[in-house]
Amino acid sequence: MTTKWYVGVDLGGTTIKLAFIDPYGEIVYQGEVPTNTSNGGSEITTDIAKWIDGSLEHLGETKSQLHSIGMGAPGFINMETGYIYQAVNIGWKDFHLKDRLEMDTGLPVIVDNDANIAALGEMWRGAGDGAKNLLCVTLGTGVGGGIVANGNILHGVNGMAGEIGHITAVPEGGYQCNCGKTGCLETVSSATGIARIAKEFITDYPNSLLASESENAGRMTAKLVFDCANKQDECAIKVIEKVTYYLGFALANLANALNPEKIVIGGGVSKAGPTLLEPLEKAFQKFALPRVVEGVSIVTATLGNDAGVIGGAWLAKTKN
């Protein structure tokens, strides 16, 4: 018996990541193509179809080897119909993604939000380790999230569930967020937010390592903050304490309501490892119920850039 493969597709603003994945979550073959955002992103589904055909030919397989496609896309999506209301970075507006990709490939397609499929990937084969109740938070340029409860991604009534980055972490006097509110978690726990807080702190610590290193580098970055904290720079340690205080507060409050088994921290900032996780756990424990603390572990994501395609395959496997 031949086991069929699933096609996982993870669409980003600059590249499309694609993979053939077996029913056990192993990547059989993978690649990526540039995201062509010209003409309102109208070539993207064709580019995906071409990659699939070319890769099958390269592997000496035919389309009958493929079961279906699970795809993650950024923006506002109707997950039931696979219709994209708007995806600014891609150029799509009112785009029938599912229908178009099904026509171009001849395969059944299921679509979900990019942050959500990354969460499913980590659940299935990554740091989630099979836990059916998990929170995934991506700390990158912004803060994204996905919530899995009873093994299913939560979408909410109009697809906004999982917007962890816009939980208010600073009730009064917070920074302005792109979403229109102030004090969102994203303003204080994204890479951008960390750098901003650090810039404020170095005025109080002009002789700190962080102050001199950022001056040498010509700019402040989250990576610099963690590097200096690893060298025991007091200023950098204080910045991380503040950042993890807010993040721990927001995650603990969510955990009090959702009682997850795992909280998976991904994105560029998560590369800081224990320098991030240790103060985060301290803050989390301050704000979470003892029994909730008992039930959960906070871990860093393990799949990196593969989380999306693997989660896409999970979606295709379980929902098609």
Q: How far apart are CA 212 and CA 316, in angstroms?
A: 50
- Among 156, 206, 274, 304, indicate the residue that binds its own copies (CB under 8 A): 156
- Please choose, out of 44-52, 194-202, 208-216, 256-264, the segment that lies near its own copies by the rule CB under 8 A: 256-264
CB of 171 to its own copies, least distance (A): 6
Interaction between residue 180 and its own copies (CB under 8 A): yes
Residue 27 or 79: which CB sits closer to its own copies?
79
Residue showing tokens 């756990």: 281
Interaction between residue 127 and its own copies (CB under 8 A): no
Residue 28 or 258: which CB sits closer to its own copies?
258
- In the numeric block, which tokens belong to residue 270? 């998560």
Instruction: Tell me whether strands 152-153 and 109-113 are parallel, antiparallel or unpaired.
Output: unpaired
- In the numeric block, which tokens belong to residue 35? 């995201």
- Among 34, 60, 171, 173, indicate the residue that binds its own copies (CB under 8 A): 171
Interaction between residue 152 and its own copies (CB under 8 A): yes
CA angle 296, 267, 190 (to 5 degrees): 95
- Among 15, 37, 65, 259, indicate the residue that binds its own copies (CB under 8 A): 259
Q: How far apart are CA 2 and CA 232, in angstroms?
A: 55
How far is Cα of residue 28 from the mean position of the Cα atoms in its chain? 23
Interaction between residue 161 and its own copies (CB under 8 A): yes
Residues forming a β-bridge with 184: 168
By CB under 8 A, the residues from 210 to 249 that bind its own copies are 249
- Stated as kind and residue range, the H or E segment containing 235 is helix 234-258
- Among 236, 296, 298, 315, indicate the residue that binds its own copies (CB under 8 A): 296
Query: How many residues of this chain bind its own copies (CB under 8 A)?
Result: 45
Interaction between residue 94 and its own copies (CB under 8 A): no
Q: How far apart are CA 302 and CA 173, in angstroms?
A: 35
Residue 150 or 232: which CB sits closer to its own copies?
150
Contacts 24+ apart (CB under 8 A), 179-185: 184/143, 185/143, 185/246, 185/247, 185/250
Interaction between residue 292 and its own copies (CB under 8 A): yes
Nearby residues of 116 by Cβ (< 8 Å), 6 or more positions away: 72, 146, 153, 155, 162, 311
Residue 87 or 131: which CB sits closer to its own copies?
131
- Among 14, 39, 62, 158, indicate the residue that binds its own copies (CB under 8 A): 158
Name the DSSP class of 176: B
- Among 12, 31, 140, 295, indicate the residue that binds its own copies (CB under 8 A): 295
- Contact residues: its own copies, CB under 8 A: 131, 133, 145, 147, 149-150, 152, 154-164, 166-168, 171, 179-181, 249-250, 252-254, 256-261, 286-287, 289-292, 294-296
